[in-house]
Structure 1
């Protein structure tokens, strides 16, 4: 029988093989801005237009996000690794918004130069183990004309490039 520690390590190594788009979730609550880097963001439905994100309940944004209910998922560009690092603990919480061009829409902070911005209204929260699965209905979007997302894979940032497909006969 395999030990729990070994099973955990095997799971960790398996998940390092999953490439994920890097996002920053941002919100404002009681006059303060909050933000956190996440890689667990997934489109959920087109009717209603919705998206889910997983947030550790111990993170600084957890309580303000749930109390406010309105937030933005900022999809980062390949050139924005410094912003990701800042929001993943590379800077104190009160200094995270010092990097990047941040504005507000209806009181919600968003990164102007992001690959995409998805403005959401929280619909449901499902708690599981250490995380909350935040389901949000997308109220508005903005996106850049080019596609150049920041990717996280195997414990490091990565880039994407289109593959040339062979045409079938």
Structure 2
């Protein structure tokens, strides 16, 4: 059906929007993944143990299926080294990560031979490893398995569930995120009878996150003008300053997941903005020129954003942010 024909069957209020990108997922897998990335998810690590072997994979495909009986599902790539273990073990555990476990997500996304060696965990009641510090655990028996194209969908019967306090670690638009209450989701503090928290402690961190989100969204226009999206821009910036990094090092340095880093590397190689070397990857002349162009846009964007803010306010903000950065670096 042509777009003109579609427009004949729309509401009067409908105003068409041009997509940032579109196409056939069968011929453009990376575009398909970026579109899927618009649907934010939690992050879980699926674990199992059988015959003295332990396996773990990081996924965002976890979902509930049924309450009666209690069923959940997730999917594993047919190319995964752990696929045979998970499809034959007959059991698994879902470990839902908290906002404090971004490093755990990256660790279990790596290609280490023994991912459990440096992890804190204990064997659950039903035989699968349970990771420490998670928001929830679901200990499952394998209920059924379904062929899902290049993945196998594994459905589990939940035998035991447990929940802990904390905030979830999220993944959206190719980057780690945290949850924040939507301002329209609940009554204002005044309406509920509570006094709003106007202390510095109550507002500074939430405002930092809101400012980051708003600024990143605004700067997206400049990225798109240079033919970039967030993952590509991060890899370009990192490679410009630190040539020779390998994929695992890039994933950690840019805070992107392993899969998004691999996709970005593939796209940069195709566009001849990056070359592979024995030691890792480096930018081509075209890649360095593109990085210089996007950095120039970033500097102009920064200048425009802070124009009109008094110098004393800027210096106070810089001091506050520097202290927050330093104390969190010390906690790593």
TM over 0.5: same fold?
yes
Match of 1:77 among 98, 104, 112: 98
Equivalent in the alignment of 2:159: 139
Quick check: 1:31 aligned with 2:47? no
Structure of higher CA gyration radius: 2
1:83 Cα deviation after fit: 1.1
Indicate the structure whose relative CO is greater, using CA pairs within 8 Å and at least 6 residues apart.
1
Distance, in Å, in 2 between the alignment partners of 1:144 and 1:166 is 23
- What are the residue-to-residue correspondences of 1:93-112 with 2, within 5 Å? 93-94=113-114, 96-106=115-125, 107-112=127-132
The structure carrying a bigger helix percent of its residues is 2
Distance, in Å, in 2 between the alignment partners of 1:68 and 1:166 is 44
| TM superposition score normalised by structure 2 | 0.46
Distance, in Å, in 1 between the alignment partners of 2:69 and 2:186 is 36
- What are the residue-to-residue correspondences of 1:12-91 with 2, within 5 Å? 12-89=33-110, 91=111
Quick check: 1:130 aligned with 2:150? yes
Residues 55 and 131, structure 1, Cα contact 8 Å, conserved in 2: yes
Q: What SS class does the counterpart of residue 13 from structure 1 fall into? A: helix
1:166 Cα deviation after fit: 5.5
Residues 34 and 174, structure 2, Cα contact 8 Å, conserved in 1: no
Shift >6 Å, 4+ stretches: none
Pick closer, same or farther for the CA change 1:166–1:84 going to 2, 3 Å: closer
Distance, in Å, in 1 between the alignment partners of 2:131 and 2:186 is 38
Equivalent in the alignment of 2:5: none
Distance, in Å, in 2 between the alignment partners of 1:166 and 1:119 is 33
Match of 1:158 among 167, 173, 177: 177
1:88 Cα deviation after fit: 1.2
Equivalent in the alignment of 2:137: 117
Distance, in Å, in 1 between the alignment partners of 2:182 and 2:46 is 30
Residues 42 and 60, structure 2, Cα contact 8 Å, conserved in 1: yes
Quick check: 1:5 aligned with 2:18? no
- Give CA deviations for 1:105-138 in whole Å, capped at 9, x if unaligned: 2431111311100000011100121101111010
